[in-house]
Structure 1
């Protein structure tokens, strides 16, 4: 059995702010390849979405501190590119514990600075393949500085009250989605991946759920 998730073991603390957290219908044709309660679960209604942009959203709950997320990142990038029109792929950094809070802050700062596209995969590579020391916010600032970001700008945004509030908001969503490990995919706030055996299957289930949701849940 494939053990893929970095499971939650603690409560996240964000600059003195405690973040409590938990790091099917089928069509009329062939039988569905995945079943509710096994590869995915239906979440309690009403659906709780990350945004209200009108598109079906596929959200990966992840952390730069999670090696399984590093392994999944190239597949997630392929998934993002393969999703049909009307479906949008999004990232949500989980602040499951003290050690993961700097990674969440770094993601939000990178997003506001417009550098996620060029740094997302590079950060996983630097940390887990090149063994670059990246754990603290200072070390993360050094990494982003190497990718053209002004260090002071990064630290100012990453440490801001605005980012703290974003972490609080998104961790409330993570709790509502009942996510207890990473990487996990949540589709439209309605479905969460569950007992998948491989990272390839994780991607396939997410794509299947997204296409089904785009077709009106059929």
Structure 2
């Protein structure tokens, strides 16, 4: 009887172990929340990056002359703060028209002067909320002077050959990325976000793609 009981207990235990092993198998993978061709596209010539710092980059193509970029700016800042270590957020001004050239030059000057972080949102607010007439490079120089920037130095950098060269180089990259509107986000020189319904969704897709690209590197 004791031998029979031991065999029965062993049989039951083995059955339970097999059942547990079966139930521990992973279920079907969850579908990706965003799909190629719907919320984003893969660029035809991938790996055309803005920089070579080795990090996954999330690049917003924008203009200070674009009211939609002004609306997106707080969401872009939130996205920047949510990006994991190993991912960097960058701005890229789009000189799509003669009217937008001064804004691109202003960004290059502000970047060289190290004031972008504290003036980026303020410039959008001054133009679109406070309705300052900020259209020309002189208008922009006045704005930056109110922010404590040396006006003459700002104009010198904005009109420099270096700013012109940077603008041409960046415009070539924007064309390679096939960007024709702002704001647009390109992730790691590989993916352009398109077809989203809201700016909030654009930020969500950017975060998802950046995390996926970072995981793929690891």
TM-score range, shorter chain: 0.7 to 0.9
Deviation at 1:47, TM superposition (A): 1.2
Tell me how far apart the structure 2 counterparts of residues 110 and 146 of structure 1 sit (CA, whole Å). Answer: 13
Cα RMSD of the aligned pairs, angstroms, is 1.2
Q: How does 1:6-155 map to 2 (within 5 A)?
A: 29-155=29-155
Deviations along 1:82-134, one digit per CA (max 9) or x if unpaired, are 10000000000000000000000000000000000110000000000000110
Structure with greater contact order relative to length (CA < 8 Å, sep ≥ 6): 1
Equivalent pair of 2:64/2:70 in contact (CA under 8 Å): yes
Tell me how far apart the structure 1 counterparts of residues 33 and 154 of structure 2 sit (CA, whole Å). Answer: 44
Q: Secondary structure at the match of 2:206?
A: helix
Task: List runs of 5+ in structure 1 lacking aligned partners.
Answer: 1-27
Deviation at 1:44, TM superposition (A): 1.5
Q: Secondary structure at the match of 1:64?
A: coil
Deviation at 1:217, TM superposition (A): 7.2
Normalization by structure 1: what TM-score? 0.86
Task: List runs of 5+ in structure 2 lacking aligned partners.
Answer: 1-27
Q: Secondary structure at the match of 2:132?
A: coil
Deviations along 1:126-151, one digit per CA (max 9) or x if unpaired, are 00000011000000000000001010
Q: Report the structure, 1 or 2, having the larger strand content.
A: 1
Normalization by structure 2: what TM-score? 0.86
Tell me how far apart the structure 2 counterparts of residues 36 and 99 of structure 1 sit (CA, whole Å). Answer: 34
Partner in structure 2 of residue 204 of structure 1: 204
Tell me how far apart the structure 2 counterparts of residues 66 and 29 of structure 1 sit (CA, whole Å). Answer: 41
Equivalent pair of 2:45/2:176 in contact (CA under 8 Å): no
Deviation at 1:29, TM superposition (A): 2.4
Tell me how far apart the structure 1 counterparts of residues 157 and 45 of structure 2 sit (CA, whole Å). Answer: 34
Question: How many residues matched?
Answer: 191
Q: Secondary structure at the match of 1:195?
A: coil
Q: Secondary structure at the match of 1:215?
A: helix
* Higher Cα radius of gyration: 2
Q: Secondary structure at the match of 1:204?
A: helix
Tell me how far apart the structure 2 counterparts of residues 33 and 51 of structure 1 sit (CA, whole Å). Answer: 28
- Point out 4+ residue stretches in structure 1 off by more than 6 angstroms: none
Equivalent pair of 2:61/2:94 in contact (CA under 8 Å): yes
Deviation at 1:46, TM superposition (A): 3.9
